[in-house]
Chain A
Amino acid sequence: MTQLALVIDLNVCVGCHACVTSCKEWNTSGDAGSLADLMPYGKDPSGTFFNRVQTFEVGHYPETQTVHFPKSCLHCEDPPCVPVCPTGASYKRAEDGIVLVDYDKCIGCKYCAWACPYGARELDAKQKVMKKCTLCVDRIYDEKLPERDRKPACVLACPTSARLFGDVHDPESEVSRAIRERGGYALMPEWETRPANQYLPRRESAPCDPPTPSSSSPR
């Protein structure tokens, strides 16, 4: 059975937020209506986003690393947000494993957001329904698009190819190989939600030696 997912390479993410803006652009222009944007040019802008890039500092000085960390719905294989939904608006598709919200059935009770440990769901301040990453479900199957464009907007926008997209249940797919060969891991494994999205860790690299005057070529 297919399980579509993103694999995010933290080794090459530079934290440019291109995935954030392209996600917002695609999903605010889509069939399901706009994503709320309150006071976009005001003092305290607030809006619905499916994807954010955050920044963490890991390690102890001077051996610290800056880790840029994109976060969106992980399309869990055992999604805790789905069984709690009282209306059935929140569901996981059998055919491709995408977790979706039916905006016409959602009553905006926010219980699914409470039941997501990752904070992947946001109540849209205008439409008053729960929204989240759809893996660009209105794009990846669109046969009017050239085949190379049938990928989530965030994947296409990434300038460093830090975002891979594919079927994590197909052992020969690009994403499965990346997870296998690069030590892909899931977030908060302690809650056994089995996220479909996985992350590739930073690669260890030796600290640079200070340049010595005698060295003939620059490092």
Chain B
Amino acid sequence: MRPAYSVVFLTTLIGAGQGLFVAAFMAEAVARLAGESVPTTFLVRASIGIVALGAGGLVASFFHLGRPERAWRSAAMWRTSWLSREVIALPAFIALAAAYGLLHARGHGGTFLVGLLALAACIALFTCTAMIYACIRFLQEWASPLTFVNFVLMGCASGFTLAAALAAWQAPALLAPFTTGAIALTLAALVSRVASLKRNARLQPRSTTQSAIGARGPDAVQKSRGFTGGSFNTREFFHGVGAPGMRAILAAFLALAFVVPVALIVAGRDGAGPWLALAFAVQYTGLVAERWYFLADARHPQNLYYQSVA
């Protein structure tokens, strides 16, 4: 598939926002159990970050549409379409995260209840985003529970890294749990991403040129796709990057999204804010490359019909 940058930025931005919310809300929940409290400035600033990341993703998603002025129609088919469900879950999550921050800023009660609702929206959003890809059964690289696991772990890892950077300025007491969480989640995301890479490397495409045209016998090759110019089919489903380029992108995202951020978080775990901010910037860049690779990696069966120009 040809990766759409709108989708790359949508999924990575909201993932980081969701992870940041999980970090902030877990900090509040754990503090409540211990009878302590989390600095309000931290929770309010984190909420501003969550809303900004979610809104950024929402804006990016509009660039994916041919007719963005009709985007309001896209919530209609929530009974059958994961995309429609995401269209509902994303604004719901942003609104609840905004309410969560606002209640904290105003010093009102009920933050825990609103936080629980936002957590439910956050989980629903992770599910919708992952299922948009995982539910297409013939895109075999995506049709796996690992797609969901990866989206959750990578979103939470980048969110915890951002929470650690915020905590270095706003809530030093939370530094230890956030850095530990960020390292653990980043390593867990690395394990699950490598598992999906290994799975995809072993995949045997179920469709072949034989099944695509119904030819009997082992030899069937396309001699002409029927036209010499380009078409939607030749643009949308081929990323056009060769094997060496793909290997370079793979190596880059494994280093930038997982290995380098862990080293930077370790360097900044005693409260060196700039190291932690750099860790987030590097990890986010790595996750952009990861999401590009994830989208490009899927081999669409329609490509069997576009193997030869003439």
Q: Are B211 and A187 in contact (CB under 8 A)?
A: yes
In the complex, whether B108 has a CB less than 8 A from a CB of chain A is no
Q: Are B70 and A117 in contact (CB under 8 A)?
A: no
* Interfacial residues of chain A within 152-174, with CB under 8 A of chain B in the complex: none
- Residues in A neighbouring B139, C-beta threshold 8 A: 114
Contact with B along A112-128 (1 / 0, CB 8 A): 01111111011101001
- CB <8 Å contact, A110 and B231: no
The answer to whether A113 touches B66 (Cβ under 8 A) is no
Instruction: List residues 77-95 of chain B with CB under 8 A from any CB of chain A.
Output: 77, 80-84, 87
A118 to B207 Cα, complex, angstroms: 10
A106 in contact with B67 (CB, 8 Å):
yes
A85 and B81 within 8 A (CB): yes
A-B contact count (CB 8 A): 176
Contact across chains for A59 and B219 when beta carbons are under 8 A apart: yes
Cα(A187)–Cα(B210), bound, Å: 9
**Are the C-beta atoms of A58 and B217 separated by less than 8 Å?**
yes
User: CA of A129 to CA of B138 in the docked complex: distance in angstroms?
Assistant: 23
User: Once the chains bind, are B81 and A107 in contact (CB under 8 Å)?
Assistant: no
Which B residues are in CB contact (< 8 Å) with A185? Answer: 214
Docked complex: A81-109 residues within 8 A CB-CB of B:
82-89, 105-109
Which of A14-55 touch B at CB < 8 Å? 17, 20, 39, 44-49, 52-55
What CA separation (Å) do A199 and B214 show in the bound complex? 8
**Closest residue of chain A to B88, judged by CB?**
A86
Report the bound CA distance from A1 to B139 in whole Å.
31
Q: How far is the CA of A201 from the CA of B220 in the complex (A)?
A: 14
Q: Nearest Cβ distance between residue B1 and chain A, in whole angstroms?
A: 7
Footprint of A on B, CB under 8 Å?
1, 64-68, 70-71, 73-77, 80-84, 87, 132, 135-139, 206-207, 209, 211-227, 229-233, 236-237, 300-303, 305-306
